[in-house]
Structure 1
């Protein structure tokens, strides 16, 4: 049966749950992504199929299964959530404040590639994946749109 196991990488992350509760967890990512070249990234896992994904709760030392819809934010190291396509093309970027339903606020940069006729921030926010990348000063926050109450565009 060991030959049927899918090899996974262990990736540290901080999960923010509704109400602002934070948990340090380890995510399990595949060595190869299903939708792009290279390894699976945390965003691939969060925007993937199914309602639940496994994680190791560091404080409890136990396996936990997190409901995607209940996770407000997942923070990971910038090196773990890179967008290779943006290295080849100039992305649209906006500095924003993201206000969450629990009253907290996160500030950072959203960066995305879209056709010119769909490059507005509102177009990006209204597109399908439930989580979007917010580049913070020291990490990448993967923000669940379901927990966002408003996004404020900051002047650069």
Structure 2
């Protein structure tokens, strides 16, 4: 038995995002994530979509309200909220400051579970060769940064609590 009303429809959910595109600038809208199923307990991760083999991303813009297909190479960064539960389980914090080619600076932390001998910021930036780096910028907020637009990345001291 198919768990959804229409067996021809691919079950997806919209995820609100803020895109920074070249040359348009700020774009508010939503991307589409596959829903969780028997193999996945939750919806697809935007980071996985941005780093998959597809060259284009479907975006439902807010203003004007329309569907667009953005070339991922033209996306500078993608910002969205992430569930705190999943943020906590994603590995060791690697505090950093990302300097983009347009002069923007994004402060946050990269996280990934890596073996102790390969757990430096350098190792994360060069592991798995993703197109977009995942940066946790504040509680529950994520910024995916296109590595093609990064000028340089600096380490920084973690914030004192």
TM-score by length of 1: 0.85
- Aligned in 2, Cα 1:74/1:80: closer, same or farther, shift over 3 Å? farther
Q: CA contact under 8 A between 1:20 and 1:104: conserved in structure 2?
A: no
Q: 1:129 is matched with which residue?
A: 130
3-state SS of 2:86 partner:
coil
Cα deviations by residue, 1:6-46 (Å, 9 ceiling, x for unpaired): 0110111000113581100111110038x965320111211
Q: Given the alignment of the two structures, is residue 29 of structure 1 paired with residue 33 of structure 2, yes or no?
A: yes
Q: CA deviation at 1:48?
A: 1.4
Q: 2:3 is matched with which residue?
A: none
CA distance in 1, matches of 2:154, 2:86: 24
Q: 1:115 is matched with which residue?
A: 115
- Aligned in 2, Cα 1:118/1:37: closer, same or farther, shift over 3 Å? farther
- Aligned in 2, Cα 1:92/1:98: closer, same or farther, shift over 3 Å? same
- Aligned in 2, Cα 1:21/1:95: closer, same or farther, shift over 3 Å? same
Q: 1:153 is matched with which residue?
A: 155
Q: Given the alignment of the two structures, is residue 14 of structure 1 paired with residue 15 of structure 2, yes or no?
A: no
Q: Which has the larger radius of gyration?
A: 2
TM-score by length of 2: 0.83
3-state SS of 2:138 partner:
coil
Cα deviations by residue, 1:118-148 (Å, 9 ceiling, x for unpaired): 2111111012111121111251101111111
Q: Report the RMSD for the aligned CA atoms in angstroms.
A: 2.3
Runs of 4+ in 1 over 2 A off after TM superposition: 35-38, 80-86
Q: CA deviation at 1:5?
A: 1.6
Please identify, of 39-48 and 130-139, the stretch whose mean Cα deviation from structure 2 is larger.
130-139
3-state SS of 1:82 partner:
helix
**What is the total number of aligned residue pairs between the two structures?**
150
Bigger helix share: 1
Q: 2:43 is matched with which residue?
A: 39
Q: CA contact under 8 A between 1:41 and 1:80: conserved in structure 2?
A: no
CA distance in 2, matches of 1:38, 1:84: 15
Where does structure 1 lack aligned partners over 5 or more consecutive residues?
Answer: none
Q: CA deviation at 1:84?
A: 7.0
